[in-house]
Amino acid sequence: MYKTSDSIIPYPMMRSRLDTFTIINCVHKDLFWKLIGHTAVLYKCPLTEQLLVFESTTLNKYTGKSGVQLIPFGLWLSKYPGKVYARLPRFNDSRGDGKDHKYWRDKKAEEFIRVHLGTSYPDIKSWSGKMKLAFAALDFKLFGVDLFTYKGDDSGIFCTMLVIMLLDFCGIIEDAVDAKEFEPDDTRKPNNKFDELLAEWASYGPEVRLK
């Protein structure tokens, strides 16, 4: 498990710094879910500036829903049973091309959320769904080929897969990626395969603990 600072910065002090595309990494208090991990991403409403967490989960106990959902971040943070960390994005939009890159990214994020909201989580009762999750955590390449690449027919989206899909759709990840090959730890450790795929104008800071 990736080690990071456990000094908590209270949410009210951090709120103004949090924006769309902030990655949320979680460490559940329950040992089983702690080993699995959880990843989500923030979306900031451009009209109300309300922060919302965009996630896919097996079951959110306080909403009673599973799959892809959008929840007020303050409520979500107060209810999450464990540690919560944020990685803040850094975007260099001074590229001299006259484009409003932030506006474009935010509109793409809104489009992505509208399309995927309500999508199911992988069916963990089926063998195919179980393998989809397991293969995300297994990386073993032979002659440049990953031997544990999921080829099944489960159409569900799990947590880290959703985050990678969003960043890819919005151009923050430039190279072609297979989003279902990413697991929660991949967005925590700096300078790993996730950070290496970011566009040259994009980066993420180290984790900041919020809870």
- Which pLDDT does position 137 carry in this prediction? 58
Asked if 110 contacts 104 with a C-beta cutoff of 8 angstroms, the reply is no
pLDDT averaged per 10 residues, the chain (length 211):
74 96 92 78 95 92 87 95 95 80 94 96 68 56 49 78 96 87 84 86 94 95
What percent of the chain lies above the pLDDT cut of 70?
79
Q: Which region, left, alpha or beta, applies to residue 45 given φ > 0 means left and ψ of -120 to 50 means alpha?
A: beta
pLDDT of residue 139: 55
Per-residue pLDDT at 58: 86
Q: How far is CA 210 from CA 59, 80, 89, 159, in A?
A: 22, 11, 16, 19
Q: Which CATH superfamily is domain 11-209 in?
A: endopeptidase domain like (from Nostoc punctiforme) (3.90.1720.10)
**pLDDT on residue 123:** 66
Instruction: Give the orientation angle of helix 101-116 with respect to helix 159-169, to 10 degrees.
Output: 140
- Whole-prediction pTM value? 0.86
Place of tokens 């151009």: 171
